[in-house]
Amino acid sequence: MTTRNGSALTRRLDRILKGHAWFVYLFFYLPILVLIVFSFNESRFFTWEALSLRWYRQMFANDNLMAALWASLQVAAISTVISTVLGTAAALALERYKRWLGKRTFDALLYLPVIIPDVTMAAMLLVFFTSLGQQLSITTIVLSHIAFNISFVSIVVRARLANLDPALEEAAADLYAGRWQAFRRITLPLIMPGVLGGALLALTLSLDDVVITQFVKGPDTLPTFVFGLIKRGVTPEINAVSTLMLTASVVLVLSSLALQRRN
Amino acid sequence: MTTDGPVTAELEAAADRAESRRGLFLALPSYIYLLFLFALPLLIIGVYSFASRSRTGMPKLEGWNLDSITKLFTDDLIRSIFARSLIVAVLTTVFCLLVGYPFAYYIATRSEKMRNILLVFVMIPFWTNFLVRTYAWRVLLGEDGLITALGRFLNLWDSMLFTLPAVYIGLVYGFLPFMVLPLYASIERLDWSLVEAARDLYASGWVAFRKVTLPLTKQGIIAGSILVFIPSLGAYVTPDILGGAKTTLIGNYVVNQFLTARNWPLGSSLSMAIMMVMLVATVFYFRSGAKTL
């Protein structure tokens, strides 16, 4: 495209760009690959010994780790469902209804959790729960995750709604579909990729969060548990957990891409 | 039609009111949620910034003062940590831009099929667990890590773990996708005929880039820079895992105030201060003409 006049200089520039791109991909993937490879290493140290599932067995036998994994899954599932419903309703209110009381304030309020630094959000939620006399538990983790996920879901759904032709919904209304019927039959199926995309993002963010969870946690989630392990030192068991978490992320990316592809 | 004018107006007003009620009704659950679990907590740490510290570290809701706030500007330790964090955030942003721009440019100028494949490989690290990706560098930079071995072989560096360079590597690694994606979007949208026109008018490749490509992709540069700058400034996990005692950043310091030192008023005013810097950055971003994040 840019190299229409294929002079020697542009060709050389293109080669440099290509080399740079390969280098960046190496930078992205080398660390991840090293983790995966060494998670299958028999040795405790970072010298290759033999292929083994030893660290995976140890991981599944670690009760604390399994409890943390279970807590993570519960938190992620509940907070994703609730924030997807609330975030989608919020997106509809902002994109489909021109004027209503407090719309501008709500719009700003909905953006803040996205730009606020993790540490600030973590600190204020801890202070909030404590000053209410609320015991920190799995509930406070879920409540906090919903608080940041609503915004991310609504951003994704709004992007989808903005690209939709409102005429489709109006046509449904003209054909005497009730509001609910028009929503269920027309709007919802059309925005479904956005809703699912938002839900996947919420799921990922919830499964990844360390900072906020660490402040408001009762029991450990998988990331806070692993964070604790890492601070105590590097072990192949962490490599195994990491590989498990990496696999989960890759599955999530691929499903979100598949969703986009379908539309 | 002339006689029922006022009636139509009244009906329209009623429809408007109904519309307004429905909008509010839809937003209400998340509105209330965010007021209680976001706005109120934010307000509380705002108030706590003025509270005094009790013996347990919890704020006392009496003896209001400006101590924790003046401390931000007068305490040498806090000032040096803040300055270091700002430098780290700015340099991380610059590094990401220098690495990310040619990279995004390369992807954006491939064929459509190739572009999609290359992009997927940027999305994967983007979605991958941040903690795990940071941990990977702890392994590579550690005493018997691959990068350390390479450095020793080349006689250039030893283990960088727990030093500032390790923190930079971790931050650039963690936030590079945030820079690449908006850059890619703006370069991909670029109208190449403008660049060609500049070339036809005998601009050298470099001049055409500087005078046409760069200004036209300004939006992506600003978006990417803000998206990298904001999390870098509040970074906590990366410096905690890869950095050492001498590389404490403001994020770590805030966490310490809450979880270890138990000085909540100071922690509150510090987190408000970071929040203010972010707000300024975000306002700047939207001023530059951006519609969404």
Quick: pLDDT tens for A206-232.
999 999 999 999 899 999 999 999 988
Query: Among B230, B100, B244, which Cα is nearest to B166's?
Result: B244
Note whether B99 and B174 are within 8 A (CB): no
Complex ipTM, two decimals? 0.90
Measure A18 CA to nearest chain B CA, in Å.
7
Name the residue of chain A whose CA is nearest to B205's CA: A10
Backbone angles phi, psi at A41, to 5 degrees: -95, 135
> What are the pLDDT digits (tens) for B123-162?
888 888 899 999 999 989 988 888 898 999 999 988 888 9
> What are the pLDDT digits (tens) for B27-43?
999 999 999 999 999 99
CA distance A207 to A72: 6
Both structure tokens of A215: 């402040």
CA distance B84 to B243: 13
CB atoms within 10 A of CB B41: 23
Q: What is the pLDDT of residue B291?
A: 56
DSSP one-letter code for B60? E
Nearest to A147 among B34, B251, B268 (CB): B34
CA distance B235 to B242: 12
Measure A221 CA to nearest chain B CA, in Å.
13
Note whether A149 and A87 are within 8 A (CB): yes
**CB of B215 less than 8 A from some CB of A:** no
DSSP H or E stretch at residue B52: strand B52-53
**CB of A98 less than 8 A from some CB of B:** yes
Backbone angles phi, psi at B243, to 5 degrees: -95, 175
Q: What is the pLDDT of residue B1?
A: 47
Q: Mean of the per-residue pLDDT values for chain B?
A: 88
Nearest to A100 among B23, B124, B173 (CB): B23
B196: chain A residues, CB-CB within 8 Å: 4
Nearest to A100 among B20, B58, B131 (CB): B20
Nearest to A119 among B22, B129, B255 (CB): B255
Nearest to B271 among A106, A119, A150 (CB): A119
Q: What is the pLDDT of residue B65?
A: 80
Q: What is the pLDDT of residue A9?
A: 73
Which of A48-52, B95-99, B257-261 is predicted least confidently? A48-52
A9: chain B residues, CB-CB within 8 Å: 205
Q: What is the pLDDT of residue B270?
A: 92
Cβ distance of B251 and A249 shorter than 8 Å: no
Query: Among B135, B223, B143, which Cα is nearest to B173's?
Result: B135
Nearest to B30 among A89, A123, A179 (CB): A89
Measure B143 CA to nearest chain A CA, in Å.
10
**CB of A225 less than 8 A from some CB of B:** no
Query: Among A157, A146, A86, A115, which Cα is nearest to B31's?
Result: A86
Note whether B24 and B250 are within 8 A (CB): no
Beta strands B52-53 and B59-60, pairing class: antiparallel
pLDDT score of A4 more than 70? no
Q: What is the pLDDT of residue A3?
A: 44
Q: What is the pLDDT of residue A2?
A: 46
Residue B155, phi-psi category: left (phi > 0), alpha (psi -120 to 50), beta (remainder): left
Cβ distance of B131 and A210 shorter than 8 Å: yes
Q: What is the pLDDT of residue A22?
A: 96
Note whether A195 and A202 are within 8 A (CB): no
CA distance B235 to B256: 13
**CB of A9 less than 8 A from some CB of B:** yes
> Which amino acid is it at B198?
A
**CB of A182 less than 8 A from some CB of B:** no
Q: What is the pLDDT of residue A1?
A: 44
**CB of A150 less than 8 A from some CB of B:** yes
The whole-model pTM stands at 0.90
Both structure tokens of B51: 């509270």
Query: Among A263, A175, A61, A112, which Cα is nearest to B230's?
Result: A112
Measure B68 CA to nearest chain A CA, in Å.
15
Q: Which residues in A57-78 are b (16+ Cβ under 10 Å) and which e?
A: eebeebeebeebbebbeebbeb
Q: What is the pLDDT of residue A166?
A: 77
CA distance A235 to A64: 16
Q: What is the pLDDT of residue A177?
A: 72
